[in-house]
Structure 1
């Protein structure tokens, strides 16, 4: 009886080690070839979560400098406005008045906070370690959509926070100083930095779309387009000659 029990126990241990070994190998292989990250990307693509009308309205008000803070959560498969704050002329006072009090440790959320101008927004993704794993994953999966809905060009800095105490004004200003201090840069890095600043300036001083432009079409292009309309051609490639 004892021998039979020992044999069964050994078989169970061997089987368990076999399962663990192959599961670990499969995971490491997936991690090495990027499959794990692809699955996360697929989740982001498949959520279909978009901003609802209330959230879009808050975004528009924020871009007009009518709001200081916008808090959004993922609820009912939508980016849902959870809290908004008009604020005063002093962003530091507004920060102290709203953060971290408006945040729930068990509810992951997006926080948009405007500094001084309409293009100085800080995007904070807050997901406390104690929050449900599913909600944290959903927040991460919808981050790209959130930035796209609001407008990436309006976001100056991004920060991910997992503890409410890191939302204090002192903690934020210490972090902001590290972002604002630009260290020594090579000539190429300086050019890239200047180009980024110029792109941001252009994006924030004008509308988020291009106005129409008109170019004359030469005769060859017109003939090709006519043939395309008649079905005589399947493809026409045009270029702008400057």
Structure 2
């Protein structure tokens, strides 16, 4: 899975990039702040690139905070100097930070100029960011096969996987989903819904705690269901849809993921998208059999007709017979021919 976050370089960083291509800087630190690529620090050339490497890069790295480091090598290319891009993603960083930085890397390269970046290094430990670590990387990945931009993004996302022991009884946990824990109140509300106390639950993700909370538990009529969907934040909804179809009575659990477009922050969109599948597994473990999963932009979509069509799609019982198209209207009468003696 690979997604662009929509994060772009701010005006200050764009000016720094322009000066860097003229050889003014040796190193540039780039961080993601307020959903923008920002310049964290710069340093000018002191000696040659090997002597400058450890002195300039080491002080820029924070133990638990990811960042990008653009380091100018002394090799010349047709456009100017070649640059090394270091993606610093420590193992102690949160999964959310790893996802955002991995998904924004392609945008950073485009903003700076992909042609200038001739080498890349993905580092998770401080030792890998040293000159010795860079040389080991060069030896291990000498002459790599060329990759498309899509392949590069997938490779970067795989590097940020959470590594666990793998055997016949374990599964590898990757960034396919983030398992946010459920609060005690959330578990209790789901259990009460199974027992029949509620027919509607609304859930929110606390982005700081990375935990799922129940924000509303009530008896809600179908006509009032659209009013429950916020217009400025993403939410999960669980609704017990009581209805009849072709004379039969049904009670169906419907899971709704509401995302009101780009009015939500990048972090909120990514968290709700990534937590959905693990959250559905948690609901199943609590005894909720979700019959239908829906994604909507607005609460106005949740009408009875919409839910009926989603749960009971109309079937085409008889296909219409093929109708031969009529000929052109002015072609005249059909010609009749008499059989000849030879016939």
TM-score (norm 1): 0.55
Bigger RCO (CA 8 Å, 6+ sep): 1
SS of the residue corresponding to residue 271 of structure 2 reads helix
Query: For 1:81-92, what aligned pairs fall within 5 Å after superposition?
Result: 81-87=214-220
Aligned residue among 154, 166, 172 for 2:289: 154
Structure 1 position 49 matched with structure 2 position 180: yes
Note closer, same or farther for the CA distance 1:183–1:81 as it changes in structure 2 (3 Å cut): same
Structure 2 unaligned segments of length 5 or more: list them. Answer: 1-20, 24-77, 84-112, 121-145, 163-172, 243-248, 318-343
Structure 2 partner of 1:58:
189
The answer (yes or no) to whether the contact 1:50–1:145 under 8 Å persists in 2 is no
- Please list every run of 5 or more consecutive structure 1 residues that lacks an aligned counterpart in the other structure: 1-6, 88-93, 186-242
Note if 1:180 corresponds to 2:180: no
Q: Is the contact between residue 107 and residue 131 of structure 1 (CA under 8 Å) also seen in structure 2?
A: yes
Question: Does the C-alpha gap of structure 1 residues 132 and 115 become closer, same or farther in structure 2, counting only changes over 3 Å?
Answer: same
The answer to whether the 8 Å contact 1:109/1:127 transfers is: yes
Deviations 1:133-181 (A, max 9, x none): 11111112211221122117610101011x2154342xx5235314412
Q: Which has the higher strand share?
A: 2
Summarize the Cα distance change of 1:12–1:107 in structure 2 as closer, same or farther, 3 Å threshold. Answer: farther
2:174 is paired with a residue whose SS is helix
Return the alpha-carbon distance in structure 2 between the equivalents of residues 50 and 156 of structure 1. Answer: 23
Corresponding residue number in structure 2 for 1:112: 238
1:57-206 paired onto structure 2 within 5 Å = 57-75=188-206, 76-87=209-220, 94-99=221-226, 101-116=227-242, 120-129=252-261, 130-151=263-284, 154-161=289-296, 163-169=297-303, 173-174=305-306, 176-181=308-313, 183=315
Runs of 4+ residues over 3 Å off in structure 1 = 7-15, 19-27, 30-36, 38-41, 165-168, 182-185
Could you say which structure has the higher helix fraction? Answer: 1
Q: Distance in 1 between matches of 2:150 and 2:22?
A: 30
- TM-score normalised to structure 2 length: 0.40
Question: Residues 68 and 85 of structure 1 are in contact (CA less than 8 Å); yes or no, is this contact kept in structure 2?
Answer: yes
In structure 1, C-alpha distance between the alignment counterparts of 2:149 and 2:277, rounded to whole Å: 26
> What is the RMSD of the two structures over their aligned residues, measured on CA atoms?
4.0
Task: Describe the superposition over 1:55-83 as per-residue Cα deviations: whole angstroms up to 9, x where unpaired.
Answer: 11110111122211100011132110111
Greater radius of gyration (CA): 2
SS of the aligned residue for 2:291 comes to: strand
